[in-house]
Structures are given as C-alpha cells and as structure tokens.
Amino acid sequence: MNLTEQIEEFQKTHIPEIPEETLKVMLSATKRLQESGIVKNVLKKGDKMPPFTLPDAQGNPVSSSELLMNGPIVINFYRGGWCPYCNLEIRAFQNVLHRIEQLGARFVAISPNLPDKVLTTVKEKELTFDVLSDVGNKIARKFGLVFTLAEELRPIYKSFGIDLPAENGDDSYELPIPATYVVDSKGIIALSFADADYTKRLEPQETIKALETIKNEYEDS
C-alpha cells in the first residue's frame, strides 16, 4: 500500500472510535485553519531555502550547508512522534530511503519535539535518517508553516494522551502544518508540499520523481 492507502486504512479503523461531537470540533478546527490561508504563505518551488542548524536525536548539530555539500536534500516537517499520521509518513519515507540515497540525496525530518522525544521516536520507529529538533519552531516559522493549535482542541488532545507542552518544552501550542520539500544542491526548492489538513500527506514517490528530475538536469548540463 502507498501512504495514502495506509492513511485511509488507519482512518477506517480509528475515526469511528472518536465521539461524534469531538470529531465535529476537530473537523471544524481543521476547516478554519484551511480557510486562514496559511498555505499561501509557505515557501514554494523556486524559493531559496533558509539556512538552518538543528540538533539531531543525539544532540549533534546538523546544518543545511553541510547537508547540501553532498547533493539535494528532502526535508519533512512533522508535528511530532505523538501524531499517528506523521508516524505513517516517516515510516513510508524510511521504506524508500534507499532510493533517495541512490539519487545522491539526504532525507531529514524536522519536528518541534524536544531532543529526548525525538530520540524516543528514532528508537521506537527504528529510523536511520536524521531527525532534527526544532524547539520553538524557529525553522518551521521561516518556511511559513507555523500555527497555534485552537484552544478547543487542547483538552481533546489531552484526552488522547497528547501533552504538547511536555512534548515541545513550551506552552505555546504552536505546531507546523505537515510539509515536505525537495531542495537542490544550490539550496533552491524544487518541490514544495504543505497542507493545512494534517491528514493529507505527500506520497514519498513524488519526492523521488523530483530527485530524478534534478539528477537528469544535472547530467544534461
């Protein structure tokens, strides 16, 4: 199954378990975020990627300039290890990581989770790519991805066992909308995907297509 199919299977199983009134609140909040126009302000294809340096799961600094020295990079912004949709997504990227690397690229995931929470995600999901901790959403903000979780959702998240202040180390309730970027070796965004609906994710295969295009253009130049 591709990622979209996996998400659909997850929803078939778990959405019926959510009380109707709770689901209405969740869907209403998502609709308002979509209507806010946040996606209009995210970085797009052709934009220059803002440089960054963030700690990985072991606390080692990883810089975008270092990553770009070896070729293109694929960047995935995810909400946190507590998000089942994000976990399906990063597992799907783990499954195609070998192809991404064959094309001379690096894959990195970025989350506002604290480093120790990131480390837990890496260990539990057996991830072999860099997962970076963007505490305070400083880098996600530069990409135009940051929003504040609606107040009516906070007790709902709490009831699901999700403690965002503990996960992210602050009480801002800020999160990035899920987004995926392919950036060429010059730091220019070649593919941009972001959606205010957190259940919508880019198929990893689309990033591979973008990397193949970059590779072909480089070879033809």
Residues noted as catalytic: 86
- Gap between the Cα atoms of 56 and 45, Å rounded: 26
For β-strands 61-63 and 73-77, DSSP reports them as: unpaired
Cross-strand pairs, 143:
none
* Structure tokens given for 188: 């220019």
**Ramachandran category for residue 67: left, alpha or beta (phi over 0 → left; psi -120 to 50 → alpha):** alpha
* Strand, coil or helix: 44: coil
- Gap between the Cα atoms of 161 and 163, Å rounded: 6
Task: Give the relative orientation of helices 84-95 and 204-220 as an angle to the nearest 10 degrees.
Answer: 40
